[in-house]
Chains A and B, each alone.
Chain A
Amino acid sequence: MKRRFTFFLGVAALAAMPMALAQSGALGLPKTVEAGSAFSIQSAGSGKAVLYIVGPGQILRRNVQLGEPELFAPGDLHNAGHYLAVLVSGSSTENGAFDVTAAHEPSTLSFLAKPSRVAVDSHDGISGVVYVFDTFQNLVLAPTQVSFQLSGVAGTAQARTVLTHNGVAWTKMNSAAKEGSGQFVAQVGNATGTRVIQQVPGEPCGLRISARPSGQRLAVQTDPVRDCSGNVVPDGTIVTFTETYNGGESTVDAPLKQGVARAEMPAYNGAKISVATGVVLGNEIRWGREQ
């Protein structure tokens, strides 16, 4: 009930804002207050009054003695934003406004790194965005230096330093030429955020197969499948073997296991066997007569 009443008074104060702004001369308000810091509001006159502070997500109500400064302890106001102060004394009302800004010292950051999985050798393929917050989770709007570093895979680490703009800093990084997990670290003051970027092999390059007899059938297998940077293509990648013979066709979709895909196919004299993975084609071999 009390909260409802306080809320009602807050809304009433907001509704009366145009008139209140015209009467703000009697309240000694600071222009800005840093979130979480102590401050005071001076009033004029004598007697008792009630002071309301209405802001984003927070309303304070204080019984004050007019003519004396009203002190607010550290942490009383911690949400950054625009606040209204309303002093109600009997039938008269005085009011004013002030801003609460985020603390200057960054305390935490939110780090968004995309994508979490990227092909190797991808120019500007990794993006990092940092939002800087103070202790009270207010976005720090003052320009703040953010360090980004991508490391962990062979080669030198990439580093960038970026100033925040309206509380946000962002950068783009190249993925490494070698596959592996990279550590993408963002740092602001003592606050750090780390994200893992998996740098994975690109499209297979130079896909080749060979065949040998296996009983009544043919055992076909690829050479170790690598991308154009020499990284081993991950196991599980599907390789399609296609054999054509006498107007017929056989196909096998086989996964790479330990870097090699294997399959058994029928042994037809003169059969053509080709290989592909995704949209990449490999070599073609002919079994039988031409061998």
Chain B
Amino acid sequence: MTTGRILAALIAAATVVLIAIATLWPVQSAVAMAGSGASLLSSSSTAQAAVESLAGEIGRQEWEKAYSSLANKSEFTEPEFVRDLTGNYPSIRTYATLDSSDLRPLHASADEAQIQLKLRWSTVVGTFLDTRTLKVVRTDGRSGDRWAVSWPIVKEPRVPPQVIPVNYLRWDVIYRGPADDWGAQDVEAPHVRIVDMHPVDRADGVVLMGELLNEDVVPAFVTVKATLLAKDGSAIASEDSFDKISHVLLPKQVTPFLIAFHDVALSQVDSVHMDPSATLIAASADPVIEIEDQRLNPAPGASFTGKLINQSGQVVNVAHVLGTFYDKNGQLVWVADQYVDRALLPEIPVSFAMSIPADIASKVSSERAITATYSSGRFQ
């Protein structure tokens, strides 16, 4: 009987100890499952903890809590803080979720620290990185010393109310109807042509790059499918360009395309069957996007950068930049792309940067960039 009581007391004591340990030092997976912060007891006891805590609140979209923890709340409102992170207008950023965050201390003193915070956002078109350099200051709170982040607010420029006249141009299509007789022709599919194609052997497989021209006078929805054929004529693999292409091509417009075949070596390939397809679609010729300050930045960290300027009056919610890179002989050597996470407001420049593989960057002599855009509420 006594032994049983001792055992029960031991079990109860062990349970209390384990609960205390788990509360004070939770494992990361448990934190994620619970949706809680990094540490319940030390959210702002150090500069690093304050930034970690803020990143956690941003990730959980606890905007009120995140805003109230900031040291420079008086400089902006909570909605402005939220818009800084999610965008003023619907964009890729609006629908992104925080995938992970990294912080790197840059400088620290007794009362102030500088920490670089990298927020890696996850979207349907991949991830994008939002890097902020945060000043963290020591403040005296009711519960003693604490650290608070001074948020470097980036206020999106506002476009003043105005009327921008646009000579709107778009194509509408009437297709063949079910009542038409057998001989009645449908609207002709747009004529498109591959004007350049180049296979490259990469470490992770074969990459097919090229350029497709809409040589017709009507807009086209285009896709490019490729099949790698072995020496005996059998198909090794078949892939399409997915989003490494501008799918809507206006008359005389050229898009690059890139098709990746993973785990295939170029030595296995005897020939390639290309299958470009084009469908006539209703489309709009607007908006016009200027790509300004395009620059090739050499290795290390080779990249292609520039700014997008929306020359039309409508807001562009999603912009996709495709870069085509050529060597000094004009031969296509690489295709890269980048989605811009913020909406493009009229006349407001938005930067973009796309990385170029180091071994390719040294060969690049010139480049060409195009943009594909999507505006919500607009008939594409």
A interface, CB within 8 angstroms of B = 109-117, 131, 193, 195, 200-201, 204, 233-239, 247-255, 257-258, 263-266, 277-280
Contact = CB atoms under 8 A, between A and B. Distances in A.
A195 B176 CA distance: 13
Interface stretch (B10-18, B21-29, B67-75, B180-188): B180-188
Contact of A252 (B253, B254, B288): B288
A252 B293 CA distance: 12
A250 B293 contact: yes
B55 interface: no
B294 A250 contact: yes
B285 A248 contact: no
A248 B294 contact: yes
B87 interface: no
Given A237-B252, A252-B311, 14 more contacts: A110-B181, A114-B185, A117-B216, A234-B251, A248-B293, A250-B294, A252-B288, A252-B290, A253-B289, A254-B288, A257-B285, A264-B290, A266-B292, A280-B252
B213 A237 contact: no
Which of A253, A257, A258 gathers the greatest number of chain B CB atoms within 10 Å?
A: A253
Contact of B311 (A110, A257, A264, A278): A264
17 contacts: A110-B181, A112-B185, A113-B185, A114-B185, A117-B188, A117-B217, A195-B185, A200-B216, A238-B250, A238-B253, A248-B295, A251-B291, A253-B288, A253-B371, A254-B288, A255-B250, A278-B252
Contacts of A114: 185
B196 to A, nearest CB: 10
**What range describes how many residues of B lie at the interface?**
35 or more
A110 B291 contact: no
Interface in B178-233: 181-183, 185-188, 195, 213-219
A236 B250 contact: yes
Contacts of A264: 290, 311
A201 B217 contact: yes
A233 B217 CA distance: 8
Closest 8 CB pairs of A and B: A110-B183, A278-B252, A255-B285, A249-B294, A238-B253, A116-B188, A237-B251, A250-B292
Contacts of A280: 252
Interface of B: 167, 169, 171, 181-183, 185-188, 195, 213-219, 250-254, 285-286, 288-295, 311, 367-371
A257 B169 CA distance: 8
Nearest to B184: A195
Contacts of B292: 250, 265-266
A251 to B, nearest CB: 5
Nearest to A235: B169
Contacts of A251: 290-291, 294, 368-370
Contacts of B250: 236-238, 255
B167 to A, nearest CB: 5
Which of B214, B217, B285, B367 gathers the greatest number of chain A CB atoms within 10 Å?
A: B217
A260 to B, nearest CB: 11
Which of A110, A112, A237, A239 gathers the greatest number of chain B CB atoms within 10 Å?
A: A237
B188 A200 contact: no
A110 B214 CA distance: 31
Contact of B370 (A200, A204, A235, A253): A253
A236 B295 contact: no
A193 B177 CA distance: 17
A277 B213 CA distance: 10
A195 B218 CA distance: 19
Nearest to A251: B291
B190 to A, nearest CB: 9
A278 B291 contact: no
A255 B185 contact: no
B290 to A, nearest CB: 5
Nearest to B190: A117
A55 B86 CA distance: 73
Contacts of B213: 278-279
